[in-house]
Amino acid sequence: MNFDFSEDQKLVQKTARDYLAEHSPLATCRRVLEGKDLYDATLWKGVAEMGWLGAAVPEQYGGAGLGHLEMVLIAEEIGRALAPIPFSSSVYLATEALLLAGSEEQKKKYLPRLATGEVIGTLAMHEGPGDADAASVKARVENGRLTGEKLPVPDGDVAGIALVLVRDGSGLSLVIADLDTSGVTRTSLTSLDPSRSLAKLAFSNVPVETVGAAGKGWELAEKVLDRAAVLMAFEQLGGATRALEITREYAMGRYAFGRPIASFQALKHRFADLYCAIELARSNAYYGAWALSHGNDELPLASCGARISASEAFDLAGEEMIQIHGGVGYTWEYDCHLFFRRAKLLSLTLGSPSEWREKLISRLETRDAA
Amino acid sequence: MDFNDTPEEAAYRTKARAWLSKNAEPIDPNEPAADPLAEREDEKTIQAAKAWQAKKFDEGWACITWPKEYGGQGGTTMQNVIFNQEQARFKTPPNIYTIGHGMLGPTIMTHGTPEQKAKYVKRMARGEEIWCQLFSEPAAGSDLAGLRSSALRDGDDWVINGQKIWSTGAHFSKWGMIVVRTDPNAAKHAGLTYFIIDMESKGIEIRPIKQINGGSGFNEVFFTDARVPDANRLGAVGDGWRVALTTLMNERVAIGAGSAAGGFKNLLKLARDTRRNGRPALQDSAVRQRLADFWVKQQGLKYTGFRTLSALSQGKTPGPEGSIGKAVGAPMAQELAAFAVELQGPLGATRDHAYSVHEALWQNNWLGVPGMRVAGGTDEILKNIIAERVLRLPPEIRLDKDLPFRDIPTGPPHK
- The CATH number assigned to the domain holding A174 equals 2.40.110.10
A174 and A275 fall within a common domain: no
- By CB atoms closer than 10 A (0-12, 13-18, 19+), residue B319 is exposed
3-state helix, strand, coil in chain B (%, to 5): 50, 15, 35
- Distance (Å) from the C-alpha of residue A55 to the closest C-alpha of chain B? 18
Q: Tens place of pLDDT for every residue, chain A, 370 residues?
A: 788 899 999 999 999 999 999 999 999 999 999 999 999 999 999 999 999 999 999 999 999 999 999 999 999 999 999 999 999 999 999 999 999 999 999 999 999 999 999 999 999 999 999 998 899 899 999 999 999 999 999 999 999 999 999 999 999 999 999 999 999 999 999 999 999 999 999 999 999 999 999 999 999 999 999 999 999 999 999 999 999 999 999 999 999 999 999 999 999 999 999 999 999 999 999 999 999 998 888 999 999 999 999 999 999 999 999 999 999 999 999 999 999 999 999 999 999 999 999 999 999 998 877 6
Q: Do A2 and B383 make contact, defined as CB atoms within 8 angstroms?
A: no
Q: Do A1 and B289 make contact, defined as CB atoms within 8 angstroms?
A: no
In a domain, A159, yes or no: yes
In a domain, A2, yes or no: no
The kind and range of the H/E element at B152 are strand B150-154
Q: Do B314 and A279 make contact, defined as CB atoms within 8 angstroms?
A: no
- By CB atoms closer than 10 A (0-12, 13-18, 19+), residue A135 is exposed
Domain CATH number, residue A65: 1.10.540.10
Q: Do B1 and A3 make contact, defined as CB atoms within 8 angstroms?
A: yes
Residues B306, A287: Cα–Cα separation, whole Å: 10
A347 and A271 fall within a common domain: yes
Nearest to A357 among B5, B288, B306 (CB): B288
A265 and A355 fall within a common domain: yes
The string of pLDDT tens digits covering residues B71-101 is 999 998 889 889 998 998 999 998 899 899 9
Q: Do B1 and A289 make contact, defined as CB atoms within 8 angstroms?
A: yes
Cα end-to-end distance, chain A, whole Å: 29
Residues B238, A53: Cα–Cα separation, whole Å: 63
A175 and A227 fall within a common domain: no
**What pLDDT, on a 0 to 100 scale, did the predictor assign at position A155?**
98
Interface residues from chain A to B (CB-CB < 8 Å): 1-6, 69, 248, 251-252, 259-260, 262-263, 265, 268-269, 271-273, 275-276, 279-281, 283-284, 286-287, 289-290, 293, 304-305, 308-309, 354, 356-358, 360-361, 364-365, 368
Quickly state the pLDDT bin for B259 (edges 50, 70, 90).
very low
Q: In chain B, what residues touch A269 (CB-CB under 8 Å)?
A: 380, 383-384, 387
Q: Do A272 and B394 make contact, defined as CB atoms within 8 angstroms?
A: no
- Distance (Å) from the C-alpha of residue A291 to the closest C-alpha of chain B? 10
Q: What is the pTM for the complete model shown?
A: 0.93
The string of pLDDT tens digits covering residues B115-148 is 999 999 999 999 999 999 999 999 999 999 999 9
**Omega prior to B184 cis, within 30 of 0:** no
Among residues A116, A138, A173, which one ends one of the domains? A116
- Name the residue type at position A109: K
Nearest CA to A364 among B303, B33, B272, B275?
B272
Residues B272, B269: Cα–Cα separation, whole Å: 5
Pairing of strands A259-260, A255-256: antiparallel
Among this protein's residues, is B251 annotated catalytic?
yes
Ramachandran angles phi, psi of B108, nearest 5°: -65, -40
CATH assignment of B259-390? 1.20.140.10
Return all residues near B392 (Cβ < 8 A) that are at least 6 apart: none
Q: What is the dihedral of CA A230, A234, A236, A240, to 10 degrees?
A: 140
3-state secondary structure of B74: coil
Residues B126, B120: Cα–Cα separation, whole Å: 10
Chains A, B: CB pairs < 8 Å: 148
Q: Do A268 and B393 make contact, defined as CB atoms within 8 angstroms?
A: yes
Q: Do B300 and A283 make contact, defined as CB atoms within 8 angstroms?
A: yes
Interface residue of A2, A252, A278, A307 to substitute, partner B, most B CBs within 10 Å: A2
Q: Do B328 and A360 make contact, defined as CB atoms within 8 angstroms?
A: no
A128 and A100 fall within a common domain: no
Nearest to A283 among B293, B307, B311 (CB): B307
A233 and A173 fall within a common domain: no
Q: What is the 8-class DSSP label of residue A63?
A: S
Q: What is the 8-class DSSP label of residue A3?
A: -
**What pLDDT, on a 0 to 100 scale, did the predictor assign at position B258?**
42
A253 and A349 fall within a common domain: yes
Residues A113, A106: Cα–Cα separation, whole Å: 11
Q: In chain A, what residues touch B84 (CB-CB under 8 Å)?
A: none
Cβ–Cβ under 8 Å, residues B312 and B318 = yes
Q: Do B296 and A360 make contact, defined as CB atoms within 8 angstroms?
A: yes
* Domain covering B131-250 assigned CATH 2.40.110.10 in the classification: yes
Residues B124, B112: Cα–Cα separation, whole Å: 14
Q: In chain B, what residues touch A358 (CB-CB under 8 Å)?
A: 285, 288-289, 292
Domain that holds residue A348: 219-369
Long-range contacts of B405-413 (CB under 8 A, 24+ apart): B405/B181, B405/B183, B405/B184, B405/B185, B405/B186, B405/B187, B405/B188, B405/B191, B406/B184, B406/B185, B408/B146, B408/B188, B410/B139
Q: How confident is the model over B283-293, as a mean pLDDT? A: 97
A108 and A20 fall within a common domain: yes
Residues B68, B52: Cα–Cα separation, whole Å: 19
Nearest to B394 among A263, A280, A358 (CB): A263
Quick one: how far is CA A292 from the chain centroid?
A: 15
Find the closest chain B residue to A268 by CA distance: B387
Q: Where in chain B are all domains bearing CATH 1.20.140.10?
A: 259-390
- Distance (Å) from the C-alpha of residue A171 to the closest C-alpha of chain B? 27
Interface residue of B8, B393, B399 to substitute, partner A, most A CBs within 10 Å: B393
Find the closest chain B residue to A279 by CA distance: B304
What mean pLDDT, rounded, does chain B reach?
A: 90
- Distance (Å) from the C-alpha of residue A288 to the closest C-alpha of chain B? 11
Total count of domains within chain A: 3
Nearest CA to B373 among B406, B347, B344, B336?
B336
Quick one: how far is CA A211 from the chain centroid?
A: 21
Interface residue of B82, B84, B296 to substitute, partner A, most A CBs within 10 Å: B296
- Distance (Å) from the C-alpha of residue B281 to the closest C-alpha of chain A? 13
List strand residue ranges (DSSP E) for chain A, in order.
121-124, 140-142, 145-154, 161-168, 171-178, 184-189, 198-211, 255-256, 259-260
Find the closest chain A residue to B381 by CA distance: A269
In a domain, A161, yes or no: yes
The string of pLDDT tens digits covering residues B240-257 is 999 999 888 776 554 444
A180 and A300 fall within a common domain: no
A249 and A343 fall within a common domain: yes
In a domain, A337, yes or no: yes
Q: In chain A, what residues touch B3 (CB-CB under 8 Å)?
A: 1-3, 290
Nearest CA to A3 among A279, A286, A234?
A286
**What pLDDT, on a 0 to 100 scale, did the predictor assign at position B37?**
54
Find the closest chain B residue to A278 by CA distance: B300
The string of pLDDT tens digits covering residues A259-301 is 999 999 999 999 999 999 999 999 999 999 999 998 888 999 9
Nearest to B268 among A5, A248, A368 (CB): A368
The string of pLDDT tens digits covering residues A48-70 is 999 999 999 999 999 999 999 99
The 3 state secondary structure assigned to B195-257 is EEEECCCCCEEEEECCCCCCCCCCEEEEEEEEEEEHHHEECCCCCHHHHHHHHHHHHHHHHHC
- Name the residue type at position B242: R
Nearest to A276 among B288, B313, B327 (CB): B327
Nearest to A280 among B6, B328, B393 (CB): B328
Q: Where in chain B are all domains bearing CATH 2.40.110.10?
A: 131-250
Find the closest chain B residue to A10 by CA distance: B1
**What pLDDT, on a 0 to 100 scale, did the predictor assign at position B254?**
47
- Distance (Å) from the C-alpha of residue B362 to the closest C-alpha of chain A? 21
Among residues A116, A132, A161, which one ends one of the domains? A116
Among residues A116, A134, A165, which one ends one of the domains? A116
Residues A287, A283: Cα–Cα separation, whole Å: 6
Q: In chain B, what residues touch A265 (CB-CB under 8 Å)?
A: 380, 384, 396
Cβ–Cβ under 8 Å, residues B193 and B239 = yes
- Distance (Å) from the C-alpha of residue A178 to the closest C-alpha of chain B? 38
Q: What is the 8-class DSSP label of residue B140?
A: B
A154 and A98 fall within a common domain: no
Nearest CA to B195 among B205, B183, B180?
B180
Q: What is the dihedral of CA B280, B281, B283, B288, to 10 degrees?
A: -160
Q: What is the DSSP string of B332-387?
A: HHHHHHHHHHHHTGGGGG---TTTSGGGGHHHHHHHHHHHHTTTTS-HHHHHHHII
Q: Do B393 and A276 make contact, defined as CB atoms within 8 angstroms?
A: no
Cβ–Cβ under 8 Å, residues A310 and A285 = yes
Nearest to A284 among B299, B386, B387 (CB): B299
Q: In chain B, what residues touch A69 (CB-CB under 8 Å)?
A: 1
Residues B191, A74: Cα–Cα separation, whole Å: 54
Q: Which of B251, B321, B359, B388 is catalytic?
A: B251
Cα within 13 Å of Cα(A44), Cβ side: 24
Return all residues near B286 (Cβ < 8 A) that are at least 6 apart: none
A33 and A143 fall within a common domain: no
Nearest CA to B104 among B123, B85, B87?
B123
